[in-house]
Structure 1
């Protein structure tokens, strides 16, 4: 991949630069480059020189506007307190270099490596034809800007969340009108989530939480931003399949996080600081953890029929293509005993229940209640699920479900219901 770097390099503490960017309502990314310089990447190329001037003026610091296009050339414009004080343009093909306003003494004062800047200054004042890349290497070594390679707005947006975290990148939120929580979330992330094929779930929208949904292979994944618990900000990814291992994995991958805040300002700062990386991680997780299952209706129905026929249950309702469309399958033995298998559209799980003497009982809850009799190992806070991600897991889930139903029927429904 050809290198394209376009970045504003600010000689200032990261925290102070971040505060200045927010004050200037700059959008993009910010990250540390070395012990003395941080990098600011903004999306609008036309305004990048204005942004460099403004950030230099706001921070009262030196700021390089630096760009390198590998097959074209490189340049920098250096500002101090908003004023241009040094420039350099080097072209690889065209003979239009501009080396008249370098200000060698100033560069030497600013450089972190004096030997490299001295070599740079000596070379640029000679016939350096054929040494343009070497000049660039000397410049980067002099200021320890090697970490700035390949950094542009487009490149950063394409990086995985783990790469952004390794670079310690922070998201500079777009300017938004901070009204209520939901509108603030929408202003910050709606456009980026839409680009990732998420849509706002208006049915689950409320004053204290907002939900975005993405469908993959017909199954629904949801991102929650929530402040319904007092002084708690929660980011959560919900998958169409549910099991304790998945829940633990989501926590380990920072896809189920809660932050404590004291006031609205702190809440907004947490939302802006952590929200972008969260949605990047969530989208990556969805892409690598899809539900892949075909139409298994016939085998599913045959398995239910063959097992339940032994206990004199007859099918009274059947919804075709039930895993994709959702619906209910029911089997009845007598007016007072019915088995129901529910599926919800976009969900990769079975919700089985028994209707006994006019009351509904969830089979997963019955199993949890009788876990000692069933020798079922569930740790504190864990629950029992009938969920799946592949055809193999689906058939294993159905087999497991039918084994538990047989235990219930053999033990006696009246002895098992809770």
Structure 2
């Protein structure tokens, strides 16, 4: 992998640099580098020198603009309070180095390991041809910048959420003054979410509730930002499959979060601090956990038909491609009992319903209420789901559903409905 490092390095606390970037309305990644320096990484190629200069002026701190392209060369520019006070350029390809303004005595006064700069100075006063990469290492070691290798905006965008958390990288968006919560969420996250194939849902768009949808293999995943509950922000990933295990998995993965806030400023700070990493994690989860289903309608129909026929049920309706397109499968019995198997478009679950004496009962609720009789191991607050992520899980779910229906019919509908 060829090293392309392009970073602004600021000699102050991370909090101060973050404040400066926000006040300058910079879209950037920011991270700690070591005990004295932090890094700011921006996407704008044309204005990067002006950006480094502005950060230096705003923070009143020493600020390096540093770039290394492995096949071409490296350089640093050092700024203080908006003025360039040192620079050095090394070219690997042509004899076009610029070392007269290196100002190594100044660099030695702020370095964590000045002895490496003394070596660098001695090399520059001799014939250093062929040693340009060694000089780069001396510069980085002097400031403990060894870990900045490969860091650029493009490379950080490609990092997964685990690496972002490990490196303590925070994503900063330019602050845009907006009238409400929904506009602020859209301003912050619509563009990166679009790059992840999530689309803003406009039908349910409201000031307190913003949703972005991504469809994978015809199944729907949704990122939700919700402040409908007073002084609480909920950020969730909704999946097309739902069960108690998935709920715990999403919580453990940081994809079901609740924050408290006191005012609009705290709310915006929560969004800006946690939002980007959340959507990064959500996109990874969706990519790694799609619903994968083939054409199973025929086998589905055969299983239901053979299981329900012996109880006197006849198939009334079985729409084609029901799992992906949605629809209601229905079976009826002469004594006014109807079984419905409802599929919602984009959902990988079955909503089974029994209609008895003109009343509708959800089989999941019946099963939950009688969970001990059915030997179901449910924890406090857990629900009963008939969901799936692939063909194997789908047929396991069908068998479990048929077992529950048979128990209801054998026990007597009138004895178990609630």
Task: With the length of structure 2 as denominator, give the TM-score of the two structures.
Answer: 0.99
Is 2:319 the partner of 1:315?
Answer: no
In 1, Cα distance between equivalents of 2:201 and 2:227? 17
2:401 maps to 401
How far has the Cα of 1:179 moved from its partner?
1.9
Contact 1:314 1:333 in 2 (8 A): yes
Q: RMSD of the alignment, in Å?
A: 0.8
Q: Distance in 1 between matches of 2:121 and 2:369?
A: 78
8 A contact 1:337–1:357 mirrored in 2: yes
1:374-418 CA-to-partner distances (Å, cap 9, x unmatched) read: 121110121110001111110110011001100000111111110
| Counterpart for residue 148 of structure 2 | 148
Question: Quick check: 2:22–2:174 contact (8 Å CA) kept in 1?
Answer: no
Distance 1:88 1:81 in 2: 19
In 1, the alpha carbon distance for the partners of 2:353 and 2:206 equals 30
SS state at 1:66 partner:
strand
Q: Deviations over 1:209-264 (max 9, x none)?
A: 10000011111000001111111111100110011111101000101111111111
Q: Secondary structure at the match of 1:312?
A: coil
Q: Which residue pairs with 1:265 in the alignment?
A: 265
Q: Superposition pairs for residues 330-341 of structure 1, below 5 Å?
A: 330-334=330-334, 336-341=336-341
> Distance in 2 between the 1:179 and 1:95 partners?
56
Q: What's the counterpart of residue 12 of structure 1?
A: 12
For the residues of structure 1 that align with 2:377 and 2:162, how far apart are their CA atoms? 34
For 1:55 and 1:328, locate their aligned partners in 2 and report how far apart those are by CA, in whole Å: 60
Which ranges of structure 1 fall in alignment gaps of 5 or more residues? none
SS at match of 1:203: coil
CA drift at 1:335: 5.7
Once the two structures are superposed, residues 88-147 of structure 1 have per-residue CA deviations (whole angstroms, 9 ceiling, x without a partner) of 000001111000001121011011002111111111221100100000000000000112
- 1:298: how far off? 0.7
Question: Do structure 1's residue 246 and structure 2's residue 246 form an aligned pair?
Answer: yes
Instruction: Name which of structure 1's ranges 388-397 and 196-205 shifts more when overlaid on structure 2.
Output: 196-205
Secondary structure of 1:204's aligned partner: coil
2-side partners of 1:52 and 1:73: how far apart? Answer: 20
2:90 aligns to what SS in structure 1?
Answer: strand
Deviation at 1:334, TM superposition (A): 2.7
What displacement does 1:175 show? Answer: 3.3
1:27–1:175 contact (8 Å) kept in structure 2:
no
- Give 5+ residue unaligned stretches, structure 2: none
* Structure-1 separation of matches of 2:179 and 2:27: 19
Is contact 2:255-2:278 (8 Å) kept?
yes
Structure 1 equivalent of residue 208 of structure 2: 208
Deviations 1:249-283 (A, max 9, x none): 10001011111111110110110010000000000
Mapped partners of 2:251, 2:408: distance in 1: 34
Q: Any idea what the Cα deviations from partners look like across 1:39-70, whole Å, max 9, x if unmatched?
A: 00011011111110110000000000000000
SS in 1 for 2:377: coil
Q: How many residues are treated as equivalent by the alignment?
A: 418
1:342 counterpart SS class: strand
1:50 is aligned to 2:50? yes
d(CA) in 1 for partners of 2:127 and 2:407?
Answer: 89
* 1:142-166 per-position Cα deviation (integer Å, ceiling 9, x unaligned): 0001121111111100100100111
1 CA distance for matches of 2:14 and 2:246? Answer: 36
C-alpha separation between the residues in 1 aligned to 2:262 and 2:335? 56
Q: What CA distance in whole angstroms lies between the structure 2 residues aligned with 1:79 and 1:114?
A: 19
Q: What residue is the counterpart of 1:103 in the other structure?
A: 103
What TM-score do the two structures reach when normalised by structure 1? 0.99
3-state SS of paired residue (1:8): strand
- Match for residue 28 of structure 1? 28
2:170 aligned residue: 170
How far 1:314 sits from its partner (Å)? 0.7
1:20 is displaced (CA, Å) by 1.1
